[in-house]
Amino acid sequence: MRLYKPIILYLPYLLVKELHKYLIKYPPNFKVQVEYFYYVIHYLTKMQIQHKKLQYKTRKINDVNLDTLVIPHPLMGKMTVRELIMWAAYHTEHHTTILKKLYSGTQKW
């Protein structure tokens, strides 16, 4: 049995207030709970923080190590740290773009 914990969101009050007013005035053309939008904002904020942490940590690695250290990837095989970072950045950006298009209504499932 899976227990679901309530999601605790830490968003600025002004942002939540403005978003709530906007969603009431311009409801989305699909049925969804308003709380879902808060979750998406929380998730995107969390991803931005993780992105900054990765940038900070990779700046400490010198170029020689980026090109010589090899890490196994379950699907792609052995990859250097530089290749893995570049692939992860591209892959994340690819999925973020898809989500933005889906939520803006310019792309269908």
Confidence (pLDDT) at 26: 79
Confidence (pLDDT) at 11: 60
Which one is predicted more confidently, 1 or 12? Answer: 12
Enumerate residues 6+ apart whose C-beta is below 8 A from 74: none
H-run or E-run covering 72 = strand 70-73
CB 80 within 8 A of CB 61: no
Give the three-state DSSP class for 52. Answer: helix
Give tens-digit pLDDT for 25-80: 877 676 667 677 777 777 778 878 887 888 888 888 888 998 999 989 888 899 99
**0.85 surpassed by pTM:** no
Distance in angstroms (rounded) separating the CA atoms of residues 74 and 85: 15
Using alpha carbons, list the distances in angstroms from residue 30 to 35, 102, 108. 14, 11, 12
| pLDDT interval class at 2 (50, 70, 90) | low
Q: Among all chains, which residue has been given the structure tokens 């009431």?
A: 24
Distance in angstroms (rounded) separating the CA atoms of residues 7 and 9: 6
CB 83 within 8 A of CB 71: no
Residue 77 main-chain phi, psi, to 5 deg: 85, -155
